[in-house]
DNA sequence: AGTCAATGGTTTGCTTGCAACTTACGCCGG
DNA sequence: CCGGCGTAAGTTGCAAGCAAACCATTGACT
């Protein structure tokens, strides 16, 4: 059997998850008919999903066929440059526009996440939720969309910076600083705190890359 | 006759241009079979083009069918907030990374464009080229891509701010200020100059909207 | 007369099949 | 033995057709 037919997700989501889980790694070639067999649908929905993923730069063309995009060192740096600016903007706008309820949820998240220290997977999920919440608190749909795109591209990186020893605790402290700034409606402080946070994460990731 | 068959562009480009030219206006419903007839191809490539446009937020779903997205006042403000930050970042990075050749081309563009004052269409094209050049001079592929997306969304706005009386000259002065800052490798000045430029353009556009 | 249901037409989503192109392998010649 | 060319297999791009969901209009029943 190929796959449980009880999948109610569309081809796009299925392929995206497969990339996320590392089933398809950067450089792998994606063949329409293979995916069609694998997911039990015809080539057409697969084609549409592949095109969407291509426009989001998760796939790239090598001649006529599509391969999973890969990030070299330069592209990683470029991605982080854009990310830190956009996340900084999100923090600034969140400090300006977040509702009291959103601020309280952010504070709760940071407090609750302390329980996850040591659990790299849990922390990674919690981290995504935290940043997503800040994006939403900016109340800027375009920004949310652009940041979604940035985060999707980050799926092309194998490991998360939270895998580094001790990074979890430090990251949580940084999260707390961000929330504190937003709570105080201090836009500049929120911007700086988030930018520094991303900067630190990038540094940590660089060290990880150098280890291999 | 439907359309000259000598079209060598793909469905995506054709539909995008049609939106750009205002053939399809915000709110218009796009029916696959209509487009297929119009461009003389089958529904399949049309579907793929529509999906790409949807992922870029140029189209949006209304129930089951696709309509051209429209920007209300809030979304316009949100778009400009993101744009000014990204363009500012591009200017900063251009000041840091532009080659001497790129700087010279930018300077030439500003000088040459003085001849276009009064020609709103020509200025609009020249303006797009100028900003695109700055994006490229940032030497950051992700940033270029994100800014492409922003500029595509701007196709949903009917008029350009350069249509306003006297805006052309002022815009050129602002362009010169940006180039001067980049030439001097002054990152902060370039960032500020471009941010102010976008800010001014937004103001001008707001006045235009209020006129109707 | 009003409301609900049924039916016809429209539009989307998917499958299947075909044609064009690319790539790779093998064969032949140097 | 190596290189170039031809052919065959594989893969993508496109078209046409079919089934299912949706919309609206009309008709029947309360």
Its CATH class, for the domain covering B11-68, is mainly alpha
β-pairing verdict for A59-62 and B29-30: unpaired
**Whole-number pLDDT of residue B117:** 83
Please, which pLDDT band fits residue A212 given cuts at 50, 70 and 90? Answer: low
Please, which pLDDT band fits residue A8 given cuts at 50, 70 and 90? Answer: low
Per DSSP, the three-state class of A80 is helix
Which of B85, B151, B154 to probe by mutation at the A interface, max A CB count within 10 Å? B85
Closest CA to A85 of B194, B11, B26: B194
Same fold, A11-68 and A73-211: no
**Whole-number pLDDT of residue B210:** 84
Rounded CA-CA distance B37/A32 in Å is 27
Contact call for A78 and B140, based on CB within 8 A: yes
Q: What are the tens digits of pLDDT across the range B152-161? A: 999 898 777 7
pLDDT at A4 over 50: no
What mean pLDDT is predicted for residues A29-55?
Answer: 93
Please, which pLDDT band fits residue A1 given cuts at 50, 70 and 90? Answer: very low
What residues in B contact A153, CB-CB < 8 Å?
A: 142
Rounded CA-CA distance A173/A191 in Å is 16
Rounded CA-CA distance A119/A117 in Å is 6
Number of A–B residue contacts, CB under 8 Å: 67
What CATH number labels B73-211?
1.20.120.530
Rounded CA-CA distance B150/A43 in Å is 31
Please, which pLDDT band fits residue A209 given cuts at 50, 70 and 90? Answer: confident
Nearest C-alpha of chain A: how many angstroms from B134?
15
Q: Does residue A153 belong to the interface with chain B, where contact is any CB pair within 8 Å?
A: yes
Q: What are the tens digits of pLDDT across the range B153-197? A: 998 987 777 777 778 889 999 999 999 999 999 999 999 999 999
Q: Greater confidence, A210 or A183? A: A183
**Whole-number pLDDT of residue A5:** 40
Q: Greater confidence, B141 or B63? A: B141
What residues in A contact B143, CB-CB < 8 Å?
A: 78, 81-82
pLDDT at B6 over 50: no
Q: What are the tens digits of pLDDT across the range A108-118? A: 999 999 998 87
pLDDT at B4 over 50: no
Q: What are the tens digits of pLDDT across the range A19-28? A: 988 899 999 9
Contact call for B52 and A51, based on CB within 8 A: yes
What residues in A contact B153, CB-CB < 8 Å?
A: 142
Mean pLDDT of all residues belonging to chain A: 90
Q: What is the residue whose two structure tokens read 């399949």?
A: B44
**Which residues neighbour strand D (beta carbon < 7 Å)?**
A 30-33, 43-44, 47, 64-66; B 10, 41-45, 48, 63-64
Domain residue spans of chain A: 11-68, 73-211
pLDDT at B62 over 50: yes
What percent of chain B lies above the pLDDT cut of 90? 74
Mean pLDDT of all residues belonging to chain B: 91
Minimum-distance CB partner of A48 among B51, B75, B145: B51
**HSE on the CB side for B191, CA within 13 Å?**
10
What mean pLDDT is predicted for residues B77-90?
Answer: 97
Show the tokens assigned to A101.
Answer: 């309820």
Q: What are the tens digits of pLDDT across the range A157-179? A: 877 777 777 788 899 999 999 99
CA dihedral A183→A189→A194→A195, nearest 10 degrees, is: 170
pLDDT at B105 over 90: yes
Strand C at less than 7 A from CB of A7: no
CA–C1' A2–C18 (A) = 26
Q: Does residue A44 belong to the interface with chain B, where contact is any CB pair within 8 Å?
A: yes
Contact call for A143 and B56, based on CB within 8 A: no
How many residues does this entry show for chain A?
Answer: 212
What residues in A contact B48, CB-CB < 8 Å?
A: 47-48, 51
Nearest C-alpha of chain B: how many angstroms from A173?
27
**Whole-number pLDDT of residue B212:** 66
Tell whether pTM > 0.85.
yes
Please, which pLDDT band fits residue A3 given cuts at 50, 70 and 90? Answer: very low
**Whole-number pLDDT of residue A118:** 79
């Amino acid at each position: 059997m190929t796959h449980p037919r009880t999948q109610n997700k569309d081809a796009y989501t299925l392929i995206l998850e497969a990339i996320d889980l590392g089933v398809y790694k950067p450089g792998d070639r994606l063949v329409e008919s293979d995916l069609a067999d694998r997911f039990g649908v015809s080539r057409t929905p697969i084609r549409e999903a592949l095109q969407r993923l291509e426009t989001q730069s998760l796939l790239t063309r090598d001649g006529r066929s599509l391969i999973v995009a890969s990030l070299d060192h330069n592209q990683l740096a470029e991605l982080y440059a854009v990310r830190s600016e956009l996340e900084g903007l999100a923090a600034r706008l969140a400090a300006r526009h977040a509702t009291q309820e959103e601020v309280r949820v952010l504070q709760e998240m940071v407090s609750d996440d302390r329980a996850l220290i040591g659990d790299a997977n849990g922390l990674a999920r919690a981290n995504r939720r935290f940043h997503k919440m800040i994006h939403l608190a900016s109340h800027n749909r375009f920004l949310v969309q652009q940041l979604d795109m940035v985060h999707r591209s980050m799926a092309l990186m194998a490991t998360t910076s939270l895998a580094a020893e001790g990074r979890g605790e430090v990251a949580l402290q940084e999260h707390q600083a961000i929330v504190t700034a937003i709570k105080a409606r201090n836009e500049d402080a929120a911007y700086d705190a988030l930018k520094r946070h991303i900067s630190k994460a990038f540094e940590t990731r660089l060290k990880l890359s150098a280890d291999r």
